[in-house]
Structure 1
């Protein structure tokens, strides 16, 4: 059983938890943006999350490349491993967003999510949804690719089924007892999951999918609209350092949860601050724009780009009137112009 009685609730942890819970309570008011604008926020956050989470694990696709790929997810097969990983992550995240209330966190569902995550990965076909059968300890290599040592030793294949059963049972029991705040409970689950490293590959990506699932199930409904993965990518060194400091003590009698809890809660708090700023910016900008300009911006958000011809057909406004609105929006930094003449199109910055 996990030794969580060693968790120290410091003033910093209390402050971070309070900030997240305050935003959780305020989201009902903050989330009163029009549905199309909320949809645009979620679309942007999804692109950031998919791009960041896969890049953390070594993929190289930029957010713009991810966006293009997401627009053609139904076109398979995917040409590269990076594209396969991005497509699997995006589709699994959409499953979480749409069905989180119907996915209890059991071992079977964890394995199913792992299968979904790697559904397009040819290299991983033989072990999708199955616990590892060979060691996947984190190793260090020299410049020639020769292994020079083990950085972190994960659970053995023999111990993995037992330890996963214990972890899921702990999460269920702790949720019933309510001894730990939900954010602390989720943080402990994630760091232990990564310490076990139950699958041959995809553990990091799956841990972030499970984080989103558990946050949604704990009432943090704003999660789809702001990318936690992006926050982690921007703090990748601190992320790995916090993981290692806590993971190295988990199997001792006095585990040190503090390094990971502080990092995890700081990341969550930064996620809420980013989203609050985006919502406020939306309100200020859109409230100050003429209705026709608002419709231009909304079209760009919904479809990734907007053209003069589209807006003439949609609004019936004259080309000269729309031209002036496009010019002002570009001047205000709200749109970026691409191309020239009849081939001109505009995107959000």
Structure 2
């Protein structure tokens, strides 16, 4: 079984947990935004999460391309592997967000979630929803989606079923005993899951979706409104280093959990910091902007970038009125303006 008696709870780890839990407790007060504002925040975070999580694994789609693809998901036909992976991840995240309370954390359900993740991946038909039958490894990719090296050799196909049963039993036991803080349980699950790498493909993406599921089930209700995946993508080198430093010790008598715990909790704290900033910005916007200006900000948030023509079409407002509002939004720092004349477009600052 996993040895977590070697946890070294440093002052930084205690401080990070306290910071995250403080925000968790304050979320009800911070989350008093109107439902449509919360919905807009979640949509942006979801696009960022899907884009970042698939890019970590080598996808080349930008957030803008992900947003465009998500708006046409009903077509159920995707020409590239990147598109197939984005569609599957989007469907899985939608399920996690809508049904997290009803998803038992068991091996059978993990396999079902994996099946959803790879639903549209043509090359993964044979092994979706099944533990691996061939050896695999954790690979690192650069910003162009090119594999730059092997991070860690993973468990053998023979050992995988036993190790996954041990891991899931450990999670269930620790949840029931409440001996460990929930964030420590989530952290250990993620690093051990990736050390085992139980499926032939999709382990990284699934681990990040499962992180959100476990956070929601532990009461961290803010998780869908700020992208943890984008934090990891921004710190990819540190992510791979922390994985390698801890994973190499997991099966020893004295596992070194420290590198991964510190990275994981710092990432959660950064997720919280970003969301706090977004919420404060939302409150300021609500308090100071007229309704049409709010609509413009929402459109820029949802679409990534917007032109005057698109705003006219979506709001029905006159071009001259919109120009006045856009000028004000740029001057007050809510939007950035790019280009000039007919080619001008706007995005959130």
TM-score (norm 1): 0.90
Q: Secondary structure at the match of 1:127?
A: coil
> C-alpha distance in 2, partners of 1:139/1:46?
24
1:123 — aligned with what?
123
Query: Which is further off, 209-218 or 153-162?
Result: 153-162
Kindly provide the CA deviation profile for residues 209-261 of structure 1, in whole angstroms up to 9, marking residues without a partner as x.
11000000000000000000000001101001101111000001111101100
Report the CA distance between 1:326 and its aligned residue. Answer: 2.8
Equivalences for residues 36-51 of structure 1 within 5 A: 36-51=36-51
* Corresponding position of 1:113: 113
Q: Quick one: distance in 1 between partners of 2:183 and 2:167?
A: 16
Map of 1:253 onto structure 2: 253
Partner of 2:134: 134
Q: Does 1:103 align with 2:103?
A: yes
> Aligned partners of 2:64 and 2:113: how far apart in 1?
26
Mapped partners of 1:26, 1:167: distance in 2: 32
CA distance in 2, matches of 1:214, 1:294: 34
Structure 2: runs of 5 or more not aligned = 141-146
Per the alignment, residue 311 of structure 1 pairs with: 315
Gaps (5+ residues) in structure 1? Answer: 141-146
> In 2, distance between residues paired with 1:236 and 1:303?
26
Correspondence 1:154-303 to 2 at 5 A: 154-301=154-301
User: Higher Cα Rg: structure 1 or 2?
Assistant: 1
Paired with 1:184 and 1:307, the residues of 2 have a C-alpha distance of 46
Shift of 1:300: 4.2
Q: Supply the distance in 1 between the matched residues of 2:150 and 2:47 (Cα, whole angstroms).
A: 34
Equivalences for 1:78-97 in 2 at 5 Å?
A: 78-97=78-97
Quote the Cα distance in structure 2 between the aligned partners of 1:134 and 1:298.
47
Conserved 8 A contact 1:307-1:345 = no
Tell me the CA shift for residue 87 of structure 1: 0.8
Q: Secondary structure at the match of 1:64?
A: helix
Q: CA contact under 8 A between 1:131 and 1:199: conserved in structure 2?
A: yes
Quick one: distance in 2 between partners of 1:275 and 1:215? 15
Partner secondary structure for residue 78 of structure 1: coil
Q: CA deviation at 1:308?
A: 2.5
SS at match of 2:201: coil
Please give the alpha-carbon distance, in whole angstroms, between the structure 1 residues aligned to 2:151 and 2:205: 20
Alpha-carbon contact 1:307-1:346 (below 8 Å) kept: no
Q: CA deviation at 1:270?
A: 0.5
1:244-292 Cα offsets, whole Å, 9 max, x none, are: 1110000011111011000000000010000001111121233222343
How far, CA to CA, are the matches of 2:69 and 2:222 in structure 1?
Answer: 25
Distance in 1 (CA, whole Å) between partners of 2:62 and 2:314 is: 28
Calculate the aligned-residue CA RMSD, in Å. 2.3
TM-score (normalised: structure 2):
0.90
Offset at residue 137 of structure 1 (A): 3.1
Compute the displacement of 1:25 (Å): 0.3
Q: Do residues 72 (structure 1) and 72 (structure 2) align? A: yes
CA contact (8 A) 2:151 2:240 kept: no
Secondary structure (helix, strand or coil) at the match of 2:334 reads: coil
Q: Aligned-pair distance for 1:345?
A: 6.8
Q: State the shift of 1:324 in Å.
A: 1.9
Give the superposition deviation at 1:162: 0.6
SS state of the match for residue 73, structure 2?
coil
- Is the alpha carbon distance of 1:168 and 1:292 closer, same or farther for their aligned partners in structure 2, counting shifts above 3 Å? same
**TM-superposition CA deviations, 1:285-319 (whole Å, max 9, x none):** 33222343223323444566452354346xxxx65
